[in-house]
Amino acid sequence: MPTVLITGANRGLGQGFAQQLGDAGWRVIATCRDPDAAGLSGEAHVLDVTSAESVQALKETLQGEPIDLLLNNAGIYGPRDYGLGSIDYDAWAEVVAVDALAPVRVAEALVDNVAASERKLMVFISSMMGSIAQTGSGDAIIYRSAKACLNASVNVLSNGLKSHGIACVLFHPGWVQTDMGGPTAAIDVKTSIRGMCNVIDRLTLDDSGRFINYDGFDIPW
């Protein structure tokens, strides 16, 4: 039975991944800041991805258990109604901390767990909005820049972890009907998760460093 560890498993895409992979026979380790309040069932652990102490505590709890798939899903959007002259720089720093720094912190802490597994996969949920090549808008500088930072970091990780046999892949989940995407988004959670899981099932070390749409097509950097 393969094992997946999911950050931000209490809602949206994280919850969808936990359901889909659990139904497919995976052992699911679900994490979020407050599993009890979130009503997480099964194997759940406290994890604040922005806290080095919390990440280290999870590492110690797992005691080197193999993790076939580390799914860095936790993320926030940040402010929406702003422009030049009204940027909240403290909020910008918070979004970068959650969306760009935290996934690398978790990956760094659990690299040995992933290396000890059979699948050896790290998946990072990004966004097409982090694609510099496709940026044609002057809005959402906070979220766009945080995801672009994540993309660059994972691209570097993908090179550094090949010697460990670990594949690192970024996904754009689509515009999804979650709290972040809103009720008018293009696709529902099940469609997004089903697409990404179909791609994940086929990933190998040769795919490391890819930035992939939920339907399997590559996205330009």
Mean pLDDT by groups of 10 residues along the chain of 221 residues? 97 94 96 88 93 98 97 96 95 98 98 98 97 91 98 98 97 85 81 97 98 97 95
DSSP assignment of 112-165 equals HHHHTSSS-EEEEE--GGG-STT---S--HHHHHHHHHHHHHHHHHHHHTGGGT
List of E strands, the chain: 3-6, 27-32, 43-46, 69-72, 121-125, 167-172, 211-213
Report how far residue 38's alpha carbon sits from residue 151's, in angstroms, rounded to the nearest whole number.
29
What's the pLDDT score for residue 45? Answer: 96
Task: Report whether CATH 3.40.50.300 matches the domain 3-213.
Answer: no
Task: Give the model's pLDDT for residue 175.
Answer: 83
Predicted pLDDT at 169? 98
The one-letter code for the residue type at 87 is: I
Element (H, E) at 192: helix 189-200
Q: Is 3 helix (H, G, I), strand (E, B) or coil?
A: strand
Instruction: Report the Cα 167 to chain-centroid distance in Å.
Output: 14
Which of 141, 130, 146 has its CA nearest to residue 97?
Answer: 146
CA distance 181 to 163: 37
Determine the residue type at 199. V
| The pLDDT of residue 92 | 98
In the block, which residue shows the tokens 């046999």? Answer: 165
